[in-house]
Every structure is written in structure tokens, then in C-alpha cells.
Amino acid sequence: MDLSYELKKRFGYDQFRPGQEEVVQSILQQENTLAILPTGMGKSLCYQLPGEMLSGLVVIISPLVSLMEDQVASLRKRGEKRVAAINSFLPQEQRKQLFKDIHTIKFLFISPEMLNRPDIGRFLTNLSISILVVDEAHCISQWGFDFRPDYLRLGEFTRLAGNPPVLALTATADQQVERDIIQYLQMTEANVIRQSVDRPNLKYFVERLNSERDKTEWLKNRLTATSGPGIIYVSSRKRAEELTRILQQDGHQIASYHAGKEAGDRHIIQQQFLSGELSWICATNAFGMGVHKENIRQVIHDQLPASAAAYVQEAGRAGRDGNRSSAVLLYVEEDEQKVRFIVQNDLPEESEVHHFVAMRKSGHTIEVSAELAGISETSARLIQYYSETLTIEDVLKTFTKLKYDKEEKLREMISYVSENTCLREKLLFYFDEHISDRYDVCCSVCGIRSEDWLLNKSNVKNNRTLLNWEERIELLLCPHS
Amino acid sequence: MKLSSIILKIVEKMDGQRSLNASLHVLRGKRSGQTIQDVDYFSIKPFFSLLPKLQESTFLEAVNELNSHELIIEKQGIIYLTQKGRLASAQLPEFRFDGWNYRGQIETFNLRLLLLVQTLSQVRLSKNSFLPITNDRNVQQFIKELLRNLPATRQKTAALLAAELQSCIKQSEMSELQATVISHRLTGAEASGWTWEQLEEALEESRNSLQLELLEGLHRIIALSETTDYARKLPILHKLAEGIRIETPLTESTVITKKLFDQGLSIDEIAVVRKLRSSTIEDHITEIATNDKDFPILQFVELIDLEAVQDEVNRNEVKRLRLLKEKFPHLSYFQLRLILSTAKGERV
């Protein structure tokens, strides 16, 4: 079969990006496939192309409503209208209508929560599913940084659906996460197609500093000397606000972004960043997923991420256009303790587990029990899931192990910032990869004399001016003259 | 527009009769018998539920300002307007809020307007893929439906909406500042909206003040657009304002009570309306609370009491009302029942 012809005909592209063709081949041969492709390598094409070529429904499990919508929109934009999405926001009436018209749908996006509902699960297992796609498949692993307990039940769905070929997609998975994905999705004889996480155009830097104040000073100089667009990741809302204020005083077009901001402002800030009106975003890790900006030149971490996988994911938002970009990590010694505290606090304590289980036994709902036990809803669903098959003792053991693993992940980052080994080599090592090529410009350990690609000062200066209100309305809605 | 000015207006109406907290309750739209009676009695319905999320600290800051300018004075927990305050109040422009009728719905209207403008702004240039300004499903559905029912081309509809907005803003007689804030919060293709921070800087006014300007401006726009008079003159805006005014439909027993309650009526008012005893209505409310995990229990019970009773229930397994009543004599049986029903998720 001439896949290049199909690619040209259906998508208008002349060639595949690395890894894509292999994945498509594998799926067309009905093989369970795990594709680990770095961000921006066109993961969605991996199911869209075979989906178009095969008969039957493509079911795509997606963890975020916004991601789902992005993908629905991009399919529609391409002219594929046989698309629908089911999530908890879809009114029941419309869901019923959709089920009636299911034969007119080719690509069905669904959240794992909805798929786990018995009525919906049953309905879907009776359909002819050509490919079951699990997007952001790392969410299935407790060792992934975005664990979603609802993903754990997907394996059962696959079985009930008569084992259609499963395509698990993710940007980052080390061996452990890879094993989890294959095990929980029950992907027998899985074909693993792994594209290196190495991003040659990304240059890694670690800056070891003495204090929080030094970090701020460093950032001030950095933004004055180099150009964006860029993201500064910080660990708290407070820091995001403070840092933004300081950098604004230097005249930079920067805005803060975190979950505590007014929803309207969050949207506006994203929009301004995409359009280039803002050069910098100072954000907590709430910012990033679903934001498609190709020309981000720098991602700077003001604080240690919880794992190498998280770091690779966040830093990887830079340079999607393939041009040279910088990933900088600022580190002071106290950071280790700070991050450890945050990370370990994510998991419930023994007493909290007991409390939650007792509340469940006395007949409370998961939500109420979680609240009474003072734990997060994710923790609650986690306990719920494990306690269905394990004894309390084993649940506790599992959590102890998880805490231990999280500590291990944190150690990776500590060693990343404190040892004198090539940074690229280190990051690759965590994904069981080895450096194949040496780059003349690699990382701060290998030595980089100057970041001349960032010196081109093209940062937007403040040229925001208020319009007369009538003109502003015309600018928004009337034909441009 | 300052929050302190609005508070001054409310204090003026309740001069010498109520505490400071009464004003806060009015602005937040507290659904207790006292507050509902107050707004009626003192004719301050326009201010009711104007700022449902108003922080106490923000409120107190504004009050301090009034205090330091000696516009109000507190004596034995009661707030009075000073002579200076009376003069200051007379200087203020007339506010055109209608909190009583639009309570809690302004944001819905705002989001509808934002999304409609954004959508038309985008599709007018055939840029059909964009990040919607709101993720609110109901709003998205509403706008989709609305656009489906507009016959003109998108370009034409966009131009029509521009004309409607301009004419509505003029006729509403809002200030230039308000029109500026409203138009710059709107977002669209090649014209991203402005964040509050950016507006603060450009207009040299505090965010709180600008947000009040926007709020009052929206009240004006809705008030004009929703009238049947304007159904023909401002057809798009008229549709946008659909269902924003709070209505009081009447059906059956607890459902009726729930509907009345959702409208903001107090228990006593519902009892009067329905010609039922208050205790019956209290039963209904308890039932509603039991079945609604988002039930606003703090409108009936102070947080400190809620936690104390829950604590007691959890620690000593006390569920009997009489025993709880002995422990917490200052709480009514109704309050205790409410706490139990929401905290435990079951009827007592």
C-alpha cells in the first residue's frame, strides 16, 4: 500500500514526520501499538490517517476537554465533519441523539470518566471499533506525572469491546511508564514505536544560584538581554504575581497565568501570547497543555519540576518550529526540600486512608468521604480504585511505594542540576536512551559560549493604546477598510 | 466607580437602623429572611446580590475609606450617615443597577456577549478555529443556537451587532469610561481583549472600580435590550438578554419551594406566598439541602457553628437532635437539621 499517496491525498503533506509512518503501518496491520513521539511530532495523524482508511469507528480517549475540543476543531478544519465528542458537559438529550446517529460518526472523542459509565461503555462495546486510541496514555501510570485513576479501567473496556487494535499515544514515557501502559491497557504483543525524546534544537542550561533573590536578578537580566517568546515556570501563584510585577517594571510585555486568575483574563492572556502581543508568560504548571505556539524560544524554570518526565514535557514546549531554543533551569539548594514537601503531600497519609475507607463503609459517597477525610478527589479515587481489589494493608503498601518512587523521580532532577554530566545525556538516560549525535551547541555543561540565537532583540515594547470605544467595536466586528 | 460610593448609598437608606454587616449581606445577596426583608423595607433592591463573591476584606477596605473621610459613623454596632456623608451621597451620580431582577445572571449575559462578539469577529474573517473566551457549556450552546437562528451571513450579522452595540451604548447613557471598558474587554480576531491589569494601567483606575463600571454598564445594556420595545430595534442583543431576568414560575410542593428559594425568597416569605406554615417550608428546605450537595448552607448557619456541629457528630457519633440542641443551645432545630442533612448526606 502506498501510504505516501494516502497522506498526500487526505492531508496534503508530502512526507511523514519521523515515526508516523511506522505507527500507521502498525495500526493498519491490526497490531496493538504504543507510540512515544515527542510533542509537536504530529501524534494525531497517527490515528487520523488509518482511521480514514479503515471502516468502523475510531474511539479516542482524551483526558482534557480542551484537548478534545482542539482535536475536534482541527479535524473539522481539515474538512472531516464526522466527528463528535462526549464528555460530562454534553447535555443528556444531545448524547442520546448522538447515540442514535452514531453510524454517521467516524471519530468519537470521549473522556475516560464517561467511558467508565456502564450505560455508555455497554453502548460502545456493541459497535464496530476500528481503532481504540488512548491519548496522553502516560496518565495511566502512577509514575507518570499526570496520573488519572480513571485510565486504569480502560483495559476492561478494551476486552469488552472485543480487543480492537489499541493505539496508545504519549509524548514522554520511561520504561516504567511504558510497562504500565502495556499492562493496564492489556496490550498483548504491543508494538512499541519510540521516537527519541532528544530535541536537537533545544539547548539545556542549569544555573546554580545562591538565593531566591539571585533568581529574580538573573531573570531580570535575562529578559533584558535576550528575546522571547518564552514561558517562565514558577511553583506558586504568589511567585508568579511577584515576578511578573518586577519584570513589568522593566518594561517587558509579560503576564502571569495561574489557576487563581479570573477565567476571562486567563483566556485573554493566552490569546495575547499566541498573537505575540505578550512576549512572556510567568505561569504555574497550569499553563501549557493545549496551548499550541510554535515559536516559543525559551522555557525557564524558576523551580525544580517534580520529575525528569515533567521537565522534558514542559521544556519541550519551546522550539516546536524546529528553531534553536533554550531550556533553562534555575536552582538554589533549598529548592530540593520545597519540592519534596509539595510532591509528598500529594499522596494521602495512612490515617487519611483509614478515615476515608471508614467513611465509605458507613455509606458516604466518594466526594463526601474525601471531604470528611480531608483528602483531594484524586487521592480519593485512587484509594477507591485500589481498595476494590486490595486489602487496606496492601493499599497502604502501594502508597508507601508510590512515595518512594516519587522521591526517586525527584532525585533524578536533583542529580540533573547538581552533577557535571552533559544535561542532554542525563535527560536521555532517564528515558533509557543514549546520545547518538554530539551537537556543537548542547548544554551548559558541555559549554555554550553565547546564545546568539536569542540576542536578536525583537521583544515587543508596550505599544498598547486604548481606542475610542466606537472604533474598538468596529475593529472587532466590521470589515477592515 | 467606587465600592465605597455604593456602600454609602446603601447606608444612607438604612441610616441608623442596621449594622455594617447588613450592607454586606445585601451586596452579596444573602438569602436570609432578614436580608430579604431589609432590601424590601429600605428600598435597596437594586443593590441586592450585586457582588455575590464580594470578599469581606474588600468590603471593609471600602468601609474604612468612608470612615476615614467621616462620611459614616458606627455607634453600638449601628451605622449612621454623617452630615458630610449626606452631602457626599447627594453628589454621587445615580446608579442604574437592577440587582434584584438580574441577580447572579449578569455574568451569564457578559459571557454570552463576549463569546458572540468573539465568534463573529473570527468567522467574519473565515478564521473558524479559535480558543473560545469561555468554556461554559451552557453559554456555548446558547450562542450556537442563537447563531443558527440568525439568517444573515456572518459578515452581515457581525456588522449588525456592531451597530446594535453602538446604538445601545449611546442610548443607555453610560459614561465614556464605561463604554471604553466594555469595548476593550471584548475580544476577537486581531484584537485581543485587554486584561484588567492592562486596563488599570492605561486608565489609571483601580481594577475594582473598573469592574464596577463594567457591571453597571452591563446592567444598562440588559435593561434596554430586554424590553419588548427593543425586540425590533436591537434584535440580537434582545435575544442575548433572554432569560437573564429572574422569573418566578410556580409548579408543585417542594419543587415550588425550591424555585421560590432559588429566587432568593426567605422561608417566611415562601410560607406567606404558599399559605403554608414556616415549619413546613423548613422541611422542604431541609429536603432540598439533603439532595443538593451545593446547597448554600452558610446562608443559614455560620461556618464556625457548622464545623463545630460536624466535629461533634464525627467525634461522638451524636446524631440526636435533642442532644445536639443541648450542646448548641444557640442553634435552632432547623439549623441543626440542615447541618446534619448536608454533612451526613442523609435524612435525620
| pLDDT confidence bin for B61, thresholds 50/70/90 | very high
Q: Put the strands of the sheet holding A33-36 in their side by side order.
A: A83-86, A107-110, A57-61, A129-134, A166-170, A33-36, A191-194
Closest residue in chain A to residue B120, using alpha carbons only:
A477
CA dist list (Å): B129 to A8, A62, A75, B59, B85: 23, 19, 11, 41, 53
Give the per-residue pLDDT at A461: 57
Which residue pairs from B156-160 have beta carbons closer than 8 angstroms and sit at least 24 positions apart in sequence?
A: B157/B120, B157/B236, B158/A477, B158/A478, B158/B120, B158/B121, B158/B123, B158/B124, B159/A477, B159/A478, B159/A479, B160/B236
| pLDDT confidence bin for A459, thresholds 50/70/90 | low
CA–CA min distance A188, chain B (Å): 38
Give the per-residue pLDDT at B177: 96
Q: Of A77-86, A199-208, B241-250, B337-346, which range is least confident?
A: B337-346
Q: Are B104 and B49 in contact (CB under 8 A)?
A: yes
Side chain identity, residue A221: N
CA–CA min distance B64, chain A (Å): 26
Give the per-residue pLDDT at B307: 86
Between A372, A464, A477, which is nearest B120 by CB? A477
The CA-based angle B140-B146-B150, given to 5 degrees, is 145
Classify domain B3-95 at the CATH topology level.
Arc Repressor Mutant, subunit A (1.10.10)
**CB contact A1 to B (< 8 Å):** no
Percentage of the residues of chain B whose pLDDT score is greater than 70:
90
Please check the confidence at residue B249 and state whether its pLDDT lies above 70.
no
CA–CA min distance B144, chain A (Å): 14
- What mean pLDDT is reported for chain B? 86
Contacts A–B by Cβ distance under 8 A: 112
Give the per-residue pLDDT at A24: 94
**CB contact B166 to A (< 8 Å):** yes
Q: Which residues fall within 8 angstroms of residue A410, CB to CB, at 6 or more apart?
A: A304, A306, A307, A336, A339, A340, A343
Mean pLDDT on A103-110: 94
Please check the confidence at residue B250 and state whether its pLDDT lies above 60.
no
Using a CB-CB cut-off of 8 Å, the residues of chain B touching A476 are 117, 121, 162, 183, 186-188, 191
CA–CA min distance A368, chain B (Å): 8
- Do B252-341 and B3-95 have the same topology in CATH? yes
CB contact under 8 A, B193 and A466: no
pLDDT digits (tens, 9 = 90+) for B41-58: 678 889 998 998 899 999
**CB contact A92 to B (< 8 Å):** no
Give the per-residue pLDDT at A40: 62
Mean pLDDT on B128-135: 80
Mean pLDDT on B302-309: 88
CB contact under 8 A, A464 and B129: no
Closest residue in chain B to residue A256, using alpha carbons only:
B197
DSSP per residue, A218-261: HHHHHHHHS---EEEE-S-HHHHHHHHHHHHHTT--EEEE-TTS
Using a CB-CB cut-off of 8 Å, the residues of chain B touching A465 are 202
Between A268, A364, A365, which is nearest B195 by CB? A268
All cell numbers assigned to A211: 538565593
pLDDT digits (tens, 9 = 90+) for B159-181: 999 999 999 999 999 999 999 99
Using a CB-CB cut-off of 8 Å, the residues of chain B touching A270 are 131
Side chain identity, residue B71: L
CB contact under 8 A, B184 and A365: no
Q: Put the strands of the sheet holding A202-208 in their side by side order.
A: A202-208, A325-331, A298-301, A230-233, A280-283, A254-257
**CB contact A466 to B (< 8 Å):** yes
Residue B190 DSSP symbol: T
CA–CA min distance B140, chain A (Å): 11
CA–CA min distance A84, chain B (Å): 15
**CB contact B159 to A (< 8 Å):** yes
What are the E-state strand segments in chain B? 72-75, 78-81
CA–CA min distance B223, chain A (Å): 20
Please check the confidence at residue A179 and state whether its pLDDT lies above 80.
yes
CA–CA min distance A88, chain B (Å): 10
Please check the confidence at residue B323 and state whether its pLDDT lies above 90.
no
| pLDDT confidence bin for B296, thresholds 50/70/90 | confident
**CB contact A101 to B (< 8 Å):** no
The 3-state DSSP class for residue A109 equals: strand
All cell numbers assigned to A42: 504530529
**CB contact B91 to A (< 8 Å):** no
Closest residue in chain A to residue B136, using alpha carbons only:
A89
| pLDDT confidence bin for B95, thresholds 50/70/90 | very high
Parse chain B into domains and list their residue ranges. Answer: 3-95, 106-240, 252-341
CB contact under 8 A, A467 and B183: yes
Confidence (pTM): 0.73
Give the per-residue pLDDT at B297: 87
Render the burial of B231-245: b for 16+ CB within 10 Å, e for the rest: eeebebbbbbbeebe
pLDDT digits (tens, 9 = 90+) for A399-420: 888 888 888 889 999 999 988 8
Mean pLDDT on B273-277: 87
Using a CB-CB cut-off of 8 Å, the residues of chain B touching A66 are 135
Task: Tell which of A476, A478, A480 to mutate to test the B interface (max B CBs under 10 Å).
Answer: A476
DSSP per residue, A56-106: SEEEEE-S-HHHHHHHHHHHHHTT---EEEE-TTS-HHHHHHHHHTGGG-S
Of residues A321 and A38, which shows the higher confidence score? A321
Closest residue in chain A to residue B195, using alpha carbons only:
A265
Please check the confidence at residue B286 and state whether its pLDDT lies above 80.
no
The CATH H-level superfamily of B252-341 is: ATP-dependent DNA helicase RecQ (1.10.10.1390)
Give the per-residue pLDDT at B347: 31
State how far the Cα of B219 lies from the Cα of B213, in Å rounded to an integer.
10
CB contact under 8 A, B203 and A469: no
Burial class (CB in 10 A: 0-12, 13-18, 19+), A195: middle
Give the per-residue pLDDT at B200: 93
Radius of gyration, alpha carbons of chain A: 24
Give Cα B115 to chain centroid, integer Å: 20
Mean pLDDT on A236-260: 92
Please check the confidence at residue B13 and state whether its pLDDT lies above 80.
yes
Give the per-residue pLDDT at B77: 86
| pLDDT confidence bin for B229, thresholds 50/70/90 | confident
CB contact under 8 A, B187 and A477: no
| pLDDT confidence bin for A146, thresholds 50/70/90 | low
Q: Are A287 and A219 in contact (CB under 8 A)?
A: no
Percentage of the residues of chain A whose pLDDT score is greater than 90:
35
Mean pLDDT on B73-90: 92
State how far the Cα of A50 lies from the Cα of A12, in Å rounded to an integer.
15
Closest residue in chain A to residue B344, using alpha carbons only:
A364
Mean pLDDT on A370-387: 82
Between B128, B137, B187, which is nearest A268 by CB? B187
Using a CB-CB cut-off of 8 Å, the residues of chain A touching B188 are 476-477
Give the per-residue pLDDT at A13: 86
Between B124, B198, B293, which is nearest A367 by CB? B293
State how far the Cα of A399 lies from the Cα of A264, in Å rounded to an integer.
38
Side chain identity, residue A41: M
Residue with cell 445536639: B324
| pLDDT confidence bin for A290, thresholds 50/70/90 | low
Give the per-residue pLDDT at A440: 72
Q: Of A235-244, A445-454, B67-76, which range is least confident?
A: A445-454
Put simply, the chain B residues between 195 and 214 with a CB less than 8 A from any chain A CB are 195-198, 202-203
Q: Of A35-44, A192-201, A347-356, which range is least confident?
A: A35-44
